[in-house]
Structure 1
Amino acid sequence: MAERLVTFADKSGDAASASTASYQLLALPPALLKQLSSSSPDDSLAPLEIRGDPSDSAVLVTATQTYSIRGVQNSNSLCICASGNGKGKGRRKWFVGGDGGSDGTMEVEEDDADGGPARKKPRTNAIEIEAVLHETLEVVPTVARVDKLDGLLQGAEFTGDSAEDDKVQVSHPTFNSLRSHIPASDAEIRDALSRKRVITLDGCLRPLPPSFLAQILPSVLSSLPLPPALAHSNGAMRKTDKGKAKDVKPVVEGAVWTDAEEQDLLDSLDAVDCGNEEVARQVLGWFGSETEGGRKRWKLDAAKLVKELGVVLLAEGGFGQQQIDPFVAKWKDSAGGFAPLCKLSLLAGIHLHRPPPISTIQYLPPSSLSPDPAARFAELFSLKPRWLESEMGLFIDDLTGGDKKKRDALVLKFVRKVREKETVWWTPRNLWT
C-alpha cells in the first residue's frame, strides 16, 4: 500500500498562499434535482434563490415552491483535500488515472506558457486537508410564510378614486421590492396577494380594505342577472313570508355562474367611486373571467362574490364576537337578490360560530393565527376547549400545505382525542417539559 503524508492547510499563514475556499454539502430532493438538471443556461430566471430578512429563517425558493434549509449532523467526517508538493502551497489540484504515479494517479499541471499541451508528472505522496465537514444542509418542501405581507403593505390601501385625487403622491411597494423580504416563491406570493385582495395600480401593490370592498361588491351583485334557480328560490321565499308555502328547499351549493356585459359592470363600479378600469377589471378577475364573443361580457361566480361579501362584513366587525342574527340580516340585505346564497357554510374556515344560547360569530382567518404550530394549537384551544375534527382541521391545514402525514404528526403531538358516545372531540394534550 502506498504511503501518504497528510497535513492540514495553514489558515493563519500568508494570505496569498493560504486557501480561502469554504465548503458546505447541500442535499437536494429528487424533484428539485430533476428541475435543476432540466433547466437550460438560457433561462431568464435563476432556478434557485435564497430569501428572507435577517430576522427570518432563510429559505430556498424556485419559481413555484418554497424549501426550508436545515442542518443535519453527520456521524462521519468528510475531508476536502488538495495535494501538497511544497510549491504553490494551498493550490488545489485534481487527479486523473494514469501510469506515472505509484498508485496509478497523475497530477495534471496547467498548460505551458508557450501554449504546449499539459504536462503530466508523478503525483507526490502528500495530501493537504483544506476542510473537514461534519454537517450536511438539507432542503425540504415547506409551507410559504406570507404573514408579513400585511405589515409591508400597510399604508398603501386603495380606497376609491376620490381619495386618490386628494392624496399626496407617495411611493408604494412594488412586487420586485417586496419579493426579497418574503420567504416564499413568486407564485406563492402572487397567490397570497390575490387572497388578500391586493391590486396592481401603476406598477404598485395596493390592498383593497374591507370597508371599500363592502361598497363595491353589493354594486357588482346588483348588476348581475339572477339565475333561474335563484329567481325561483326568491319567489318561494316571498310565498313563505305570506304564509302560502313551507319548507323551501335551499339553493344548490357550489358555484353559481351568471354573466353580464362588461360596460354594465364597469358602470356599477364607477357608481361607487371605483371608475378606474384597471382596478375594476382586476376586481372582476377575482370572481370570474371574460367570455369570448363579439361584445365584451364577464362570466362571474355569484356564490364567490357573496362569500367575499360575508368575509368583508365579518372583517369590518374586527376580531371580536358579533351577534349572529344582525350579521346575517346585514349580509342578506347587502346581497340583494342573491340573499339565498348567504349561508354560514360559505364562511367555513374563516369564522368561529358559537351556537345558542350565545349565538355569536367571530372573524377568525388562519392568517390571523400564529404560524408556529404549538402557538396555533394553544390559541385555538383558548378559544374553545374542545373541537370537532372537521372544525379544527380548517384552521391548521395551512400549517401543513395539505400534507396528511404532517397534519397527523401535529395532531398526535398537540391533541388528545376524547370519545363521547358517537362523537370524537379534540382536546389539548398536556405537554410536560
Structure 2
Amino acid sequence: MSQGALTTPEAPFLEPKTPARRFRVTWRVLLLALGALVLLLSFARTVTGAVDLTSAGAINASIALAIPIGLAALGGLWAERAGVVNIGLEGMMILGTWCGAWGAIQFGNPWAGVLAGAIGGALGGLLHAIATVTFGVDHIISGVAITILGQGVTQFLSKVTFAQMPGGGDSQSPPVPKPEVVSVPWDQIGDPLRTLEAKQWFLLSDVAGILRGLTTNVSLLTILAILLVPLSYYLLWRTAFGLRLRSCGESPVAAESLGVNVYTYKYIAVLVSGALAGIGGAFLAQVAASAYREGQTGGRGFIGLAAMIFGNWRPGGLAGGAVLFGYTDALQLRRGGESVHALLLVVTILLAAVAVYQLVRQNRARAALITGVATVAVFVVFALTDTVPSEFTSVTPHITTLLVLSLAAQRLRPPAAVGAPYRRGQGK
C-alpha cells in the first residue's frame, strides 16, 4: 500500500482496533467489594433490626458451615481442572464422615479421624478414576453410582461397628473427639469487640461482630481447611505439575504430544479430589457436629459443586461461593424467619445494582428489564411481610444456589475438555 493510501478516509478502518480492557479481579477490587458488602449488611441490620446478620455467632456458624462446602468445591476443582467431572463428591463426603468419626473414635485422636476421612474419600475417588479414566464410563453415571454406594456402605458399616459401641446406634456413632479450638484472648483486655458489638452502632458494631466471629472458638481443622485454598492455587497455577494437570483438562491430546502422562495426572487429580471431599466429611462429624449421623452431609457435596461453578473453576471464587452458601445456611438455622426476611432487602439492593450494570455497562436492555422486574418482586415481598415461613427458610441455601448460578452463568468458562472421553494415542 502506498503512503498516499494511508491518508484516505478509509485508512482508519484498516487500522487494528485497540482491544477492550478486560475487567480484572485484584486485591483492591476484592477489598472494596468486601467493604461494600459489610456496609450493605449493616444497613439491612439497622433497618430491619435483624442483629444476626453480622453477629459473632452467625459469622462463627457461617465458617463452620462453609468449610465442608468449600472443601467439596476444592475437590471438584482438582478433578475438573484435569478433565474429570466429579459429581460423586457427595458420596466421597459421605465416606469421609463415617471414616472421620471411626478413625477418631478408634485411635482416640481427632487428627487420626481427619486422616481416615481423607483416605475414605480418596477410596471413593479411586473408584471414580478407575471407572472414568481407565474404563471410559460416563462421568455423571459413575458419580451418581458412587454417591449411592457411599450411602449403602456407610449404613452397613454403622450397623457392624457403631451399633456395637456404647452410645452408638445403627445410624449414628458415639461422641467423637474434636480438634482443638483457638481464640484471640480479647477478654484479657476487656473484650472490646463484645462491648462494641452490643452497642448496635451502625457499621462499627457490625465490624466488631464480624471480627469477633472470625477470631473466637476457631477449630484448628478450620484453619487447615482455609490454608488448603491458597495451597491449591499455588500447586495448580504456579508449578509445572499444575500446568501439566490443567493441560489434561484443556487439551489432553496436546498434553500427550508434549510427553504428559494424561492418565497419571487424571488419577492424581481425582484422588486428591476425593481426599478433600473426605476431609470435608470428617469436618462435619468432628467440628460441625459432635458425632457421625446418617444423612449428615445434607447435599453439601452438590452445593460444593455449585460453589465451584460459581467461582468459575478458580480457588478464590469457589471460596467466596462457599462462604455465601454457608452464611445463608447459618442464618436459616439460627433465626430463620427474621434473618432471611432481612436478607430480602440485601437481595433487592444487589439485584438493582445488577440491573443498572446490565443496562449501563453491558447495554443489555432485555436482561436489565428482567432483573428489574425480579428486583421489584423481591422488594414487594419484603415490604408486605414481617417474617419468612419456616418452610421457605429451610431451603434458603438451595434457593441461593440457583439464584447465584443463574446470575453467574454468563461469565463461566469451564475447562475445554472437561467430561470429554480420552484414549491414549487418539490424536495420532
Same fold (TM over 0.5): no
Question: Normalized per residue, which structure has more helix?
Answer: 2
Bigger RCO (CA 8 Å, 6+ sep): 2
The structure that has the greater radius of gyration is 1
* Greater percentage in strand: 1
TM-score (norm 1): 0.24
